[in-house]
Amino acid sequence: MPDSSPITAPRIIAVANQKGGVGKTTTTINLGAALADSGARVLIVDLDPQGNASTGLGIEASARDITTYDFLLDEATLDEAVQPTNHDRLSIIPATVDLSSADIELFSNEKRSFLLHDALRQPGMEALAPDYVLIDCPPSLNLLTVNAMVAAHSVLIPLQAEFFALEGLSQLMLTIREVRQSANPDLRIEGVLLTMVDGRNNLSAQVEADARDTLGDLVFATRIPRNVRVSEAPSYAMPVLTYDSTSKGAQAYRDLAGEIVRRHARVAA
């Protein structure tokens, strides 16, 4: 069933899938931009050592003096770590490759799974006042991803419309269940998002049918099409909604944002 827990502001959503290349970072960037365009204040937390969300939003590597690594280790406040982007109402805590050593360096910390949870609940969050926090997770089920799930209210799972797509979900679902049992009992699945859907491809249609048959209402009605504009936008350091606001990809992410906002409004009511 979709999330039915009480909604608190900000709504923290981890965008996660241990498989790479499924549109996770693209979804984080463009969902964030679409929510911002709808009037919401959005903070993206780049928790991937590759830093692609940071690059895709125009944060140069030379400008990442304070990153999520410093934020996690309580060596920087929220106000110090957050950077504005060129997209109105959308900000980001950027990442660098320093995060790649976090699993090892944080292992001896007794609160290692709660570092992001605590960091996102410091007093500075009230002043920043985001409506949504989107966490771009690394393509693995490591300590960083666990931190994101412990911190989040829900998990959004991008699922590429390709052969064997559903088989990779079992380990992710198991991790979500383990986090619920051990650290965050209120964690829910925000939804499963079909990405890179090719309407001309019978395989895409079959994957979608299988996903909806298996997962039911957990699958968003919105589908993200395979769209050249979505692929091109990161190289120009901007969301597709800025790069080409009339493209099918931009419209799809606006539809996704609307679906999420309506779902939360129904629950809050």
Model pLDDT for residues 78-107, shown as the tens digit of each residue: 999 999 999 999 999 999 998 888 777 777
pLDDT at residue 8 in the model: 52
Q: What percent of the chain has pLDDT over 90?
A: 74
CA 8 to chain centre: 17
Per-residue model confidence (pLDDT) at position 204: 83
- The dihedrals phi and psi of 258, each to the nearest 5 degrees, come to -65, -40
Q: Quick one: which of 159, 160, 219, 168 has its CA closest to 191?
A: 219
Looking at residues 13-37, what average pLDDT do you find? Answer: 95
29 Cβ contact partners less than 8 Å away, ≥ 6 residues apart:
44, 53, 56, 57, 136, 234, 239
Could you tell me the pLDDT band of residue 4, with boundaries at 50, 70 and 90?
A: very low
Q: What proportions of the chain, in percent to the nearest 5, are helix, strand and coil?
A: 50, 15, 35
pLDDT of residue 263: 84
Residue 1 has pLDDT above 50, yes or no: no
Q: Cα(160)–Cα(22) distance, rounded to whole angstroms?
A: 5
State whether residue 95 is helix, strand or coil.
Answer: coil
Q: What pTM was computed for the model?
A: 0.93
DSSP secondary structure letters along 135-166: EE--SS-SHHHHHHHHH-SEEEEEEESSTTTG
- Is residue 18 scored above 80 in pLDDT? yes
Quick check: 55 pLDDT over 50? yes
19-33, 51-65, 128-142, 255-269: the lowest-pLDDT one = 255-269
Is-contact 231 76, C-beta < 8 A? no
pLDDT for 138-169, tens place per residue?
Answer: 998 999 999 999 999 999 999 988 877 777 78
Mean pLDDT, the chain, whole residue set: 91
